[in-house]
Amino acid sequence: MHPALSVIVFTTASGAGYGLLALIGLFNALGLIPAASWFGFWSLGLALILIAGGLLTSTAHLGHPERAWRAVSQVRTSWLSREGVAALLTFLPFGAFGIAWVFFAKTEGVWALPGLIAAFGSAVTVFTTAMIYRSLKPIHQWHNKHTVPVYLALSLATGAVLLNALTLIWGHPQKAVGAAALIALLLGYWVKRRYWHFIDMTKSASTPESATGLGARGKVRLFEAPHQADNYLMREMGFQVARKHAAKLRNIAVQTLFVGPLILTVLALVLPGPAAAFAAALAAASATLGVGVERWLFFAQAKHSVTLYYGATEV
């Protein structure tokens, strides 16, 4: 599939934002992050910027962005609509939690409940985003059991390194947050490795024979191209990335999304003061770059079965 920049930015930013919001709500209820209003302002503000910015960026991929509001009208049948509804509903407890924390310094007891609800809503929203791709049967690289865990794990990992950086930058180091970031990064690496192994080692059930219904007659091959010139289907559905380039980009993703942030997060746990904050900030920056590369590959390596009608031998 063609890796559109708007969708890459959307899935990267909103995933990190929802992961950050979920962990803020959870760790606040556990009393593991600063309860000061200023910390609430900056941490929730960053989550809001990432979530809202990502959602707004996603409309750039629509043919008619002014009709984006219609995306929530087909909840019964569309995961895209469910994503939109989940995102909108999550803003309600998010807003209540933010107002109570920032303006009234209320984060304990019943005031922690909106944060927990927002955390749950964040997980549901990321789940629905993943299901948009998981539900597309013509794309073998998406329609599998690994897609949803990848989205959830990477949202958690990027959110965790962001929260760890925030606590250290503002001078309130929390070992539990740093440990959570390490666990989330290791989980993300394991889940992503399983996904890559799956798409490398398994083939789609769709073949030129099954697509044309001529399998009983023997091997099917393209006799003549359906079109004399490039068209929309081949630009959007038949994007190809060379295997050697894919391997190189995977390595970059692993180093920047997992290895670098892991090392830097460990350093942030053992270094004092400003040095720890700097290491944590670098970990967050590296993870952000890495998940962007990972998102590009996620789209670029997806092959739509329609390409079987244009000469592809497998998808």
Q: What residue spans of 74-207 are helical by DSSP H? A: 79-104, 113-134, 147-169, 175-201
pLDDT value at 39 more than 80 = yes
Residues in the chain, overall count? 315
Asked if the structure places residue 148 within a domain, the reply is yes
Asked if the structure places residue 110 within a domain, the reply is yes
CA 207 to chain centroid, in Å, comes to 30
**pLDDT per position as a tens digit, 1-26:** 677 888 899 999 999 999 999 999 99
pLDDT value at 214 more than 90 = no
pLDDT of residue 128: 96
Q: Sign of the CA dihedral 81, 84, 86, 89?
A: negative
Assess contact for 184 and 47: CB atoms under 8 A. Answer: no
Q: Please tell me the pTM assigned to this model.
A: 0.91
pLDDT value at 162 more than 90 = yes
Asked if the structure places residue 226 within a domain, the reply is no
Assess contact for 34 and 167: CB atoms under 8 A. Answer: yes
| Count of domains for the chain | 1
**pLDDT per position as a tens digit, 130-140:** 999 999 988 88
**pLDDT per position as a tens digit, 176-188:** 999 999 999 999 9
Q: Which SS3 state, helix, strand or coil, does residue 139 take? A: strand
205-235 per-residue burial string, b: 16 or more CB within 10 A, e: under 16: ebbbbebeeeeeeeebeeeeeeeeeeeeebe
Tokens 């992961």 belong to residue? 19
User: Which residue range(s) make up the domain with 163?
Assistant: 5-206+232-310
pLDDT of residue 311: 67
Asked if the structure places residue 186 within a domain, the reply is yes
Tokens 């007891």 belong to residue? 109
pLDDT value at 74 more than 90 = no
Asked if the structure places residue 227 within a domain, the reply is no
Q: Is residue 257 very low, low, confident or very high in pLDDT (cuts 50, 70, 90)?
A: very high
Asked if the structure places residue 131 within a domain, the reply is yes
Asked if the structure places residue 218 within a domain, the reply is no
Angle at CA of residue 7, ends 76 and 244, nearest 5°: 125
Q: Which residue, among 232, 241, 236, has the nearest Cα to 199 in the 3D structure?
A: 241
**CATH code: domain of residue 199:** 1.20.1630.10
pLDDT value at 240 more than 80 = no
Asked if the structure places residue 222 within a domain, the reply is no
